[in-house]
Amino acid sequence: MNIAATNLTRGVESRRYTLVMKLEALGYTEDRVGKQTKDMTLTELEQIYINVREQRNDL
| Residue 1: predicted pLDDT | 61
In degrees and rounded to multiples of 5, residue 31 shows phi and psi of -85, -175
- Given a contact cutoff of 8 angstroms between Cβ atoms, the answer to whether 19 and 45 are in contact is yes
- Which one-letter DSSP state was computed for residue 9? H
- Given a contact cutoff of 8 angstroms between Cβ atoms, the answer to whether 49 and 20 are in contact is no
> Can you list the residues of the chain whose pLDDT is less than 70?
1, 59
What's the pTM value of the predicted model, to 2 decimals? 0.87
